[in-house]
């Protein structure tokens, strides 16, 4: 319960910081009062003027909320993938999701011209799901086992990345736009985007969270899981489907943001243990807080310019990834 309390407090603090900090200075107490005033049965006067209120609720808050949804989804998907493969170094990028989204976005930008901005989220979403589907079918054809599936995912990712590179070489004028999307950003976040992605994230989150106990059973081995009445193949398929939907939904509105799915679940395990009944929901909460804070840094560190959020998460995640490798090696030895 202490871990849940810490996660909730951190997320609330991240939302408050994200709402207050920016190019336009907002009164901290007024901002907090305006946010609390939106809660049921709470009535507070913020003292914010019409312009500050518009900045808070039409520009910053949609970005903060969408960042929390994306961060939570990426961390949850990473934890789910790690549970399926029983490997703390696995995330969606290793199963064709990121490569498929990148190819879908590249095709939309290069070939759809003026219609690209409207079609880009759909193209990335479809590409992400298609990448995972192809990887899963290729892995299933190669035989049972998570190792086969993981190798198939790597092969599919490499193939899709090669196709993306080929398309970009034939359309060099689109390279900057493509790479801007690939580095991730929440600068165009709106309430419309938030409501669009929310149903998909709700379904995928519920699907993955409901299988936390099953992932704990799978961690002891397939034979033991079968003896306890669990169907390993069906469980993996359902969790993978939920993780793929969560990652695809997040990528569709934010671009590719790395390291969240690896770093956050591993940190949660250090804090709360290895049971997926705890790791999954805590990864959701901590991932949301982590990305909100990373996005706040991305839009303030070099203000009035803005860093791609993928750069910020990489600067944090790369050292953490090395630490994870060292920790994993020390456990094995």
- pLDDT tens, 73-107? 999 999 999 998 888 878 877 888 889 999 999 99
Tokens 């995972």 sit at which residue?
132
Residues 72, 179, 116: CA angle, nearest 5 degrees: 85
Position 143 pLDDT exceeds 80: no
Tell me 221's DSSP state.
-
Torsion of CA 155, 158, 163, 165, to 10 degrees: -170
Task: State mean pLDDT over 215-240.
Answer: 85
- b/e map 49-59, b = 16+ CB within 10 Å: eeebeebbbee
Tokens 């705890």 sit at which residue?
278
Q: Hey, where are the domains in the chain? A: 2-332
Q: Give the pLDDT band (50/70/90) at residue 333.
A: very low
Token pair recorded at residue 53: 């209120």
Q: What is the pTM of this model?
A: 0.91
Tokens 């064709």 sit at which residue?
96
- b/e map 270-308, b = 16+ CB within 10 Å: eebeeebbbbbbbbbbbbbbbbbbbbbbbbbeeeeebbb
Q: Give the pLDDT band (50/70/90) at residue 302.
A: confident
**How distant is the alpha carbon of residue 241 from its chain centre?**
15
Q: Give the pLDDT band (50/70/90) at residue 329.
A: low
User: Which of 3.30.950.10, 1.10.150.120, 1.10.3470.10, 3.40.50.80 is the CATH number of 2-332?
Assistant: 1.10.3470.10
CB 86 within 8 A of CB 216: no
Round to whole Å and give the CA distance between 197 and 266: 26
């Amino acid at each position: 319960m202490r871990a849940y309390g810490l996660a909730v407090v951190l997320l609330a603090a991240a939302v408050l910081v994200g709402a207050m900090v920016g190019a336009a200075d907002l009164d901290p107490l007024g901002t907090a009062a305006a946010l609390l005033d939106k809660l049921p049965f709470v009535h507070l006067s913020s003292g914010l003027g019409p312009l500050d209120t518009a900045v808070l609720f039409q520009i910053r808050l949609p970005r903060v909320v969408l960042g929390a949804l994306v961060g939570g989804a990426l961390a949850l998907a990473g934890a789910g993938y790690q549970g399926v493969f029983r490997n703390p170094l696995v995330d969606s990028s290793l199963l064709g999701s990121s490569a498929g989204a990148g190819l879908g976005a590249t095709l939309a930008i290069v070939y759809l011209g003026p219609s690209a901005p409207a079609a880009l989220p759909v193209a990335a979403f479809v590409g992400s799901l298609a990448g995972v589907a192809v990887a899963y079918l290729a892995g299933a054809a190669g035989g049972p086992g998570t190792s086969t599936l993981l190798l198939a995912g790597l092969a599919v990712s490499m193939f899709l990345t090669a196709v993306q590179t080929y398309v970009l070489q034939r359309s060099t004028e689109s390279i900057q736009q493509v790479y801007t999307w690939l580095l991730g950003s929440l600068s165009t976040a709106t309430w419309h985007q938030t409501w669009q992605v929310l149903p998909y994230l709700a379904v995928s989150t519920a699907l993955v969270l409901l299988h936390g106990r099953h992932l704990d059973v799978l961690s002891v081995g397939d034979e033991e899981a079968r003896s306890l009445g669990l169907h390993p193949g069906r469980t993996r398929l359902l969790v993978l489907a939920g993780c793929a939907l969560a990652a695809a939904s997040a990528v569709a509105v934010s671009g590719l943001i790395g390291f969240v799915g690896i770093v956050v679940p591993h940190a949660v395990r250090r804090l709360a243990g290895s049971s997926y009944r705890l790791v999954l929901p805590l990864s959701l909460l901590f991932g949301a807080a982590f990305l909100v804070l990373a996005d706040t840094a991305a839009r303030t560190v070099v203000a009035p310019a803005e860093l791609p959020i993928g750069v910020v998460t990489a600067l944090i995640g790369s050292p953490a990834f090395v630490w994870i490798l060292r920790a994993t090696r020390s456990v094995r030895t």
